[in-house]
Amino acid sequence: MAFTVAVDGPAAAGKGTVARAVAEHFGLAHLDTGALYRAVGLKVLEGADPVDAARSLTPADLERSDLRTPEAADAASKVATIPEVRAALRDFQRAFARRAGGAVLDGRDIGTVICPDAEVKLFIIASDEVRAERRWKELRERGINVTLADVLAELRERDRRDTTRTDSPLRPAEDAIIIDTTHLTIDEAIARAVAEVEKRLPPEMRKQGKAQ
């Protein structure tokens, strides 16, 4: 049966970490929808037309080694403002969401646009400063030298683009459960998310993953 968990939130709030952990815990499929936009953005940086890039996306595009770079993130935020790009990727995401056995999708418009009927909607947030420090440390670990101030400025600009775009702006669904990870450890944030999903998991799916 289909069971969809939508996990939304701004960059570096922890939604990807939470989504992957929830998927593993309950034995659900996982899709990082941001990777779709990052892959499209990288193709655009290489000269491709944004809409053509979205329509011709392949599995290999989602395995690029530069998918997690700041350039990819910035490019993703820009192409995500293009309605035709979002439309081209929408059907793929919706089909994945309703696959048999259940799925967890993380992004910015999963609970509001892609899967408004998702059984569980989580919206992960954290303060700007905490998010910037997390992203800065992540980039440093990957050998990318950038200042904390620059990371904070980039995050705030990306937030501005994501929340003010005309098509599918970043915002929590009316029935979303807000989880603020500012003062939570990773394990605490995951535990809260798992508990919320557990409350809504159908009995017939409790044998999956670690939910039994």
Give CA separation, 99 vs 1, 28, 54, 89, 142, in Å: 8, 10, 21, 16, 34
With a CB cutoff of 8 Å and minimum separation 6, the contacts of 167 are 81, 82, 83, 86
Neighbouring C-beta atoms of residue 183, cutoff 10 Å: 10
Residue 47 known to bind ligand: no
With a CB cutoff of 8 Å and minimum separation 6, the contacts of 136 are 146, 147, 148, 151
For residue 6, give the nearest of 176, 171, 163, 167 by alpha carbon: 176
For residue 25, give the nearest of 190, 199, 200 by alpha carbon: 190
Task: Answer whether 45's CB lies under 8 Å from 38's CB.
Answer: no
Residue 11 known to bind ligand: yes
Structure-token pair, residue 97: 């969401």
Residue 17 known to bind ligand: yes
Residue 12 known to bind ligand: yes
Residue 70 known to bind ligand: no
Residue 14 known to bind ligand: yes
Task: Answer whether 64's CB lies under 8 Å from 42's CB.
Answer: yes
Residue 119: φ, ψ to 5°: -65, -30
Residue 15 known to bind ligand: yes
Annotated binding site for ATP: 9-17
Known binding-site residues equal 9-17
